Amino acid sequence: MDNDIAKSPQLIIWPAIIKYPDEAELLYVNSQAEWDCDTGLHAFNYDETDYLIDSIGNTFTLTTRNNNIVQPESMSDTKSLEEILGLIKAHAAQTGACCVAKLYAPSISDAFTMIKSLSDN
């Protein structure tokens, strides 16, 4: 059953990151509770090219609204670990992290842990 949930393109598997167009910055979102409680996240006017990536690589648009609250909607697109690592390397370089070229994670979930640690610094 858990595999069926993980494969569902409609459910966000937290944590997630938000990717803005033409920017290396990534925004880490830890949980559904954080999304729901932070009006800056769910009430923001996102650009049509902004998107959310969940911890298994599913992507979601951020332009659908319901009662003035952003409702992430599945894009039926999945980012690979390599694509996500590329985003993380660009993000890390922007934050001034050293040895960016050596960044590696064995899974998307582990890669998201790196983003969280970069965000915490």
CA dihedral 68, 18, 116, 9 (to 10 degrees): 90
User: Using CA atoms, how far apart are residues 65 and 71, in angstroms rounded to an integer?
Assistant: 5
Q: State which H helix or E strand residue 112 sits in.
A: helix 108-120
**Which CATH number covers residue 71?**
2.40.10.320
Domain containing residue 115: 2-120
Q: State which H helix or E strand residue 58 sits in.
A: strand 58-61
User: What pLDDT, on the 0 to 100 scale, is given for residue 44?
Assistant: 81
CA distances from 85 to 2, 26, 44, 66, 73 (A): 25, 12, 26, 32, 23
Task: Tell the residue number behind the tokens 């994670």, with chain if given.
Answer: 105
User: What pLDDT, on the 0 to 100 scale, is given for residue 121?
Assistant: 58
Please count the structural domains in the chain: 1
pLDDT tens, residue order, the chain (121 aa) = 444 444 444 799 999 999 998 889 899 999 999 999 998 888 788 999 999 999 999 999 999 888 888 999 999 899 999 999 999 989 888 877 677 777 888 999 999 988 887 776 5
User: What pLDDT, on the 0 to 100 scale, is given for residue 45?
Assistant: 86
